[in-house]
Amino acid sequence: MTPRPISSRNEQRPASQGPVNRYMRPGTRWAWDITLPPQPYVSSLEWDDLLSEADTVIMNIHQPGLDTGAPGSPPIDGANQIGRTINLKNGTPGYPYRKGQWISFPVLGQLFAYKVRTAITVGSDGKVALPLLTLLRLPPANNAVVDVAQPRAEGFATIDPQSLEVGTDRLVRLRFTLEERE
């Protein structure tokens, strides 16, 4: 599972000499390129839902080697938050969020995934102002539960058509991209 940002930034380049400027805008989302282990054709049929053009796919975000510990289930602390910080409450006091760690939470019934921008520890009161790598795309509702222990990604799947081929060894090597909707 290889993540990559799909940027919505605005970049200004001068026609001649001068500085290049980048302006962050809400809307940067994520895509994951996924390669499944080789499997028999019959087993690969379980993944036929990836061929649906209208349905979204929800998958766990793998963080190999990262022990997320016992973060609890912290909810969002306050509605209508915007920017690159999300306030959480009722977290496990002393829980250490790591730079680059994934989190996810629902907004209007859709999951959104974010990466933590810098390491930070939950306060003794269970609160934390969690710095995010990208701007919030939509303001989450107060008390929406944040997935810390097992964050998930939701989006449309685009399958690599060549990966549907059954090899001479009778195995299928499925590859697809999962891209967040917004």
pTM to 2 decimals?
0.87
Q: Dihedral sign, CA of 122, 128, 134, 136? A: positive
Q: What is the mean pLDDT of residues 144-155?
A: 96
Q: Tell me the pLDDT tens digit for each residue of 3-50.
A: 999 887 777 788 888 888 877 777 789 999 999 999 999 999 999 888
How far is CA 3 from each of CA 6, 40, 50, 70, 179, rounded to the nearest angstrom?
Answer: 10, 26, 18, 24, 10
Q: Tell me the pLDDT tens digit for each residue of 81-136.
A: 999 999 999 999 999 999 999 999 999 999 999 999 999 999 999 999 999 999 99
User: What pLDDT does 111 receive?
Assistant: 97
**CA angle, residues 113, 52, 144, in degrees to nearest 5:** 25
Determine the straight-line distance between the first and last CA of the chain, rounded to whole angstroms: 19
User: What pLDDT does 169 receive?
Assistant: 94
| Residue with more model confidence, 55 or 38 | 38
* Rounded CA separation 182/120 (Å): 27
User: What pLDDT does 174 receive?
Assistant: 94
